[in-house]
Amino acid sequence: MTGIADADVQQSEDPVLTANRDGIVVVTINRPQVHNAMNAEVLSRLAELLDAFEHDDSVRLLIFTGAGSKAFVAGADIRELERRRPVDGLTARMQRLYSRIEAFPKPTIAAVNGYAFGGGCELALACDVRIASTDAVFGLLETGLGIIPAAGGTQRLARMVGIGRATDMILTGRRVSGEEALTYGLVTEIVSSDDLITAAESAATRILAKGPLAVKLASEVIRRGFDVDQETGLLLERLAQSVIYSTDEKSEGTSAFLEGRRADFLSVHHDRSGE
């Protein structure tokens, strides 16, 4: 959860901005004066937004990014971090928020611009998809402060890039460029800074063109099945598929293919919601 020291900056704007673009909501951490460092206010605001978005049918997918050109999120607010005590470690406010993002019922994309250190890297790890700009830099720098990455970093990074690379990054605090992150499998695409949000929205559009329940269950089975034995994972896969086979979504998808047209999953779900 490492970051930079928060300066005494008066914030005149919402620390988290949102923009809904046809169901694709861009969530922007808006503290560019301190490289978008996470503080208690940002965490509270994100939790409130997740509450609202989860039950808002006009919200279909979330893209997380940072304000300005220098940082996605440079980590936690060090002034707040310095005051934390053992009970705060057990409360694990940031870890719990990121676990909620990981399990969010709608797809999530991290559009990583600039520094993604500590809690910023961990936020990206909690998202379903990560797209980075050419100037993105990833790092879990906590050991340099005498702490560990505890917003999911020790667990999600190892699962994503392998225990060897994760251990190296965490113990040494080594910073990883966007290109290196791509070779690690930490991100799936690298684009120029100017094209980052466009690329994220393009990925979002591709996801939203698929069956919503299929996307949700596929993500859930991948996540839940990763750490169990293969037979249990295959059982989860079978059970999820059996549920999907009973849905109008499956009927629309297969019918559209056979009829040579594009599936309209949204209309299917709207018809069902109006019953």
Q: How many helices (H) and strands (E) does the chain have?
A: 13, 10
Beta bridge partners of 19: 26
Annotated catalytic residue: which of 80, 102, 142, 201?
A: 142
Q: Where are the beta strands (DSSP E) in the chain?
A: 16-21, 24-29, 61-66, 71-73, 108-112, 115-117, 129-133, 137-139, 176-177, 189-191
Task: Note the maximum CA span of the chain.
Answer: 63
Nearest to 101 by CA among 85, 120, 79: 120
Annotated catalytic residue: which of 122, 201, 249, 252?
A: 122
Active-site residue, 13 included: no
- Contact, 243 vs 217, CB < 8 A? yes
Active-site residue, 122 included: yes
Chain position carrying tokens 């991100």: 187
- List, by residue number, the catalytic residues: 122, 142
